[in-house]
Structure 1
């Protein structure tokens, strides 16, 4: 099983690191690519062909501002794409708090589907990819069930300690 993680910019790296942490928890192999959909469209197309040949099963794509990266990727492959709208407060061009990226990712035209998570929520993007892959991989499904059980147990213990 393999996941490809695409970032639209080097500045997105700090946001997307949570996805890598989740994939590492579940021992899912992944590769990361930093490719601008607008500035390097030919390299993006070539990379999509490459990851298809490598049997990549899910793509996580994070992008800010106009956030075209997930949509362009989805238009070129049938591999499921999970879009992460990114808000980078240090960007001088980002006045909308990531709402622009969220709107861009969620308002794709018919025929170009993208699953979307919340702004900067690469953690949930990776966890959604784990859910998708667990349909096919029984051992991963077992690990995911244990993960969810222990997370609920930790939360229940916190609540009980504060009562």
Structure 2
């Protein structure tokens, strides 16, 4: 079974990353989520990546705050796409996690999205866009979602124009 793997660095990341899994559920995309830390459980993290690949993981999403090395550890163990979600877990409001996630060495890429909930949702959409390259049904769903979003903007605009007149 093909799926997206969501790896969160700690239990405190769950509430934000639930919006990622909710997005997958809305589109009917298979996923699994585990907690594994780059620093506190490095062996578990390494073993999980290898096992998840064998089970069918196509894309990995890594959510972590502060030093945020989780995405880097994942990318060191697989050539599957890695999407990093910086979490706001420190006095720096996630800027430290953003910089740690985005500043990977050449040849070890991690696609990095926004800090927090917007990033969690965008990580799901980016993963689905990757999967849609080989999944026409998902591609159609994503196109329909874009059309729906465009129509909402048009409706909101008409509503405002009516209020202004």
- Written as runs of structure 1 = structure 2, the 5 A alignment for 1:1-163 is 1-88=2-89, 94-120=90-116, 121-163=119-161
* Larger Rg computed on CA atoms: 2
3-state secondary structure, aligned to 2:32: strand
Number of residue pairs the alignment of both structures matches = 158
Please state which structure has a larger fraction of its residues in helix.
2
CA offset at residue 108 of structure 1? Answer: 0.4
Whole-Å Cα distance in 2 between the matches of residues 59 and 158 of structure 1?
A: 35
Q: Which runs of 5+ in 1 are unaligned?
A: 89-93
Aligned position for 1:91: none
TM-score, scaled to structure 1: 0.95
CA distance in 2 between partners of 1:68 and 1:49 (Å): 18
Q: CA RMSD in A?
A: 0.8
- Of structures 1 and 2, the one with the larger relative CO (CA 8 A, separation 6+) is 1
